[in-house]
């Protein structure tokens, strides 16, 4: 049974083989993967559920339960199981954004300086260093989105709905910081997905 489970996990990983990736959430050191690892380490999938829409929960829970069983079978099995869970998490997240899964970038991948500054702003509770990095005409709106994210960032990990509310505000903040939403509006594009592109 164990061999069958490992073989199945390996097959799924082969189907998820990454190509080129460009999104913040797709990095091995990014927030989605960090929350996924925290879920594996604690045995509590709620750390990761805020990153995916409700209709993706069943699939992620199934992979999570299998991963927890396999992790106890040794280092190699644990690495395989962890990788499958994390890639499934990011894939479902990206599908919720309306974007195809392109894999998880390795540790050390360079991230846009604005994204790094936005991360620091959230971590420190201050966007003072970030605001000068964006055009002056967009700073007021960016600051409002930053404050909106801070206002909902403290939530119980087991309150998945609250976690998703925070993530929606978080993504809105990051999208505007990077200029994506601003550029899309200038070109007349519409956003039809709940969570904005590339996070």
Task: Using the predicted structure, report yes or no on whether residue 27 has a pLDDT greater than 90.
Answer: no
Decide which of 66, 97, 128 is a domain's last residue: 97
Residue 191 lies in a domain: no
Torsion of CA 157, 79, 96, 29, to 10 degrees: 70
Per-residue model confidence (pLDDT) at position 82? 96
Q: Are 109 and 18 in contact (CB under 8 A)?
A: no
Once rounded to an integer, what is the mean pLDDT over residues 157-161? 98
Confidence of residue 20 (pLDDT cuts 50, 70, 90): very low
Mean pLDDT of all residues in the chain? 83
Residues 93 and 127 in one domain: no
Q: Are 53 and 96 in contact (CB under 8 A)?
A: yes
Confidence of residue 97 (pLDDT cuts 50, 70, 90): confident
Task: Using the predicted structure, report yes or no on whether residue 198 has a pLDDT greater than 70.
Answer: no
Per-residue model confidence (pLDDT) at position 4? 52
The whole domain housing 136 covers 113-186
Confidence of residue 111 (pLDDT cuts 50, 70, 90): confident
Residues 87 and 121 in one domain: no
Q: Are 86 and 104 in contact (CB under 8 A)?
A: yes
Per-residue model confidence (pLDDT) at position 196? 37
Domain count, the chain: 2
Once rounded to an integer, what is the mean pLDDT over residues 133-158? 98
Give every CB contact of residue 77 below 8 A, 6+ residues apart in sequence: 6, 70, 71
Residues 92 and 9 in one domain: yes
Residues 120 and 91 in one domain: no
125/190 Cα distance (integer angstroms): 31
Task: Using the predicted structure, report yes or no on whether residue 98 has a pLDDT greater than 90.
Answer: no
| Of 117, 99, 130, 120, the residue nearest 198 (C-alpha) | 99
Residues 44 and 128 in one domain: no
Residue 131 lies in a domain: yes
Task: Using the predicted structure, report yes or no on whether residue 17 has a pLDDT greater than 90.
Answer: no
Decide which of 97, 129, 145 is a domain's last residue: 97
Decide which of 71, 97, 123 is a domain's last residue: 97
Residues 52 and 129 in one domain: no
Q: 21-49 burial, b for 16+ CB within 10 Å, e for fewer? A: bebbbbbeebbbbebbbebbeeeebbbbb
Q: What is the pTM of this model?
A: 0.77
Per-residue model confidence (pLDDT) at position 140? 98
């Amino acid at each position: 049974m164990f061999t069958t489970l490992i073989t199945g996990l390996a097959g799924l990983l082969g189907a998820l083989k990454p190509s080129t990736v460009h999104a913040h959430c797709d990095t091995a050191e990014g927030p989605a993967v960090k929350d996924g690892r925290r879920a594996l380490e604690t045995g509590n999938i709620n750390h990761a559920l805020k990153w995916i829409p409700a209709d993706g929960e069943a699939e992620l829970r199934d992979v999570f339960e299998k991963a927890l069983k396999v992790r106890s079978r040794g280092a190699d099995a644990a690495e395989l199981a962890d990788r499958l869970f994390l890639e499934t998490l990011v894939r479902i997240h990206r599908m919720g954004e309306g974007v195809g899964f392109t894999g998880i970038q390795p540790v050390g991948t360079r991230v846009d300086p604005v994204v790094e500054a936005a991360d620091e702003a959230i971590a420190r509770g201050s966007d003072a260093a970030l605001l000068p990095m964006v055009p002056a005409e967009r700073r007021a709106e960016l600051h409002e989105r930053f404050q909106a994210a801070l206002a909902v960032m403290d939530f119980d990990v087991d309150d998945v709905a609250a976690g998703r509310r925070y993530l929606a505000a978080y993504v809105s903040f990051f999208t505007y910081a990077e200029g994506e939403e601003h550029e899309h509006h200038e070109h007349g594009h519409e956003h039809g997905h709940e969570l904005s592109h590339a996070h």
